[in-house]
């Protein structure tokens, strides 16, 4: 695949993103880290798009990845619902999406981008560490058999 085009999602992308998220999060369930995103509905995604910033990676075959940004306070943005369709994993799409949204967060004047991820996941914490994210805390989950960790990355000095 050529370098994917990253753009802000529109509500019309919700149907395609359902397939992307179901596919992307299937592997986590198989590894013992189930997430709601694996069974998300089109209406859920449409609501994310209306109330947050959602970006998609689009290749020759359409939308192959997505990520959601939620402003959590004046200096911080949460990255969530980050996923790449299983058919396109390993093609650099996830790295491109992360790079793009980090640039968006920086350009918008925020100091920190943060996320949660299963601390015991076999590769996700390391993936984020390689991108400059550091563990800053625990994120207990009462409704799962596993807990998550909080990871943050400074993208600019405070305002």
Is residue 64 a contact partner of residue 7, using CB atoms and an 8 Å limit?
Answer: no
Q: How far apart are CA 54 and CA 52, in angstroms?
A: 6
| Res 66: pLDDT | 98
Q: What is the pTM of this model?
A: 0.93
- From the list 4, 16, 6, the residue with the least C-alpha distance to 103 is 6
Helix axis angle for 14-30 and 42-51, nearest 10°, is 110
CATH superfamily of this structure's domain 5-154: Gcn5-related N-acetyltransferase (GNAT) (3.40.630.30)
Q: What percent of the chain has pLDDT over 70?
A: 97
**Each residue of 76-88: pLDDT tens digit?**
999 999 999 999 9
Is pLDDT of 159 > 60?
Answer: no
Tell me phi and psi for residue 50, to 5 degrees. Answer: -75, -30
């Amino acid at each position: 695949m050529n370098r994917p085009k990253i753009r802000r999602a529109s509500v019309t992308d919700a149907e395609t993103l359902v397939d992307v998220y179901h596919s992307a999060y299937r592997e986590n369930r198989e590894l013992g880290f189930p997430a709601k995103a694996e069974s998300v509905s089109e209406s859920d995604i449409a609501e994310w798009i209306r109330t947050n910033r959602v970006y998609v990676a689009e290749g020759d075959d359409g939308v192959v990845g997505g990520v959601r940004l939620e402003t959590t306070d004046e200096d911080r943005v949460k990255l969530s619902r980050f996923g790449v369709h299983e058919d396109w994993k390993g093609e650099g799409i996830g790295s491109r999406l992360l790079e793009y949204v980090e640039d968006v967060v920086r350009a918008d004047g925020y100091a920190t981008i943060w996320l949660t991820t299963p601390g015991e996941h076999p590769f996700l914490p390391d993936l984020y560490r390689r991108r400059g994210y550091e563990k800053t805390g625990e994120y207990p989950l009462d409704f799962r058999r596993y807990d998550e960790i909080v990871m943050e990355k400074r993208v600019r000095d405070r305002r």
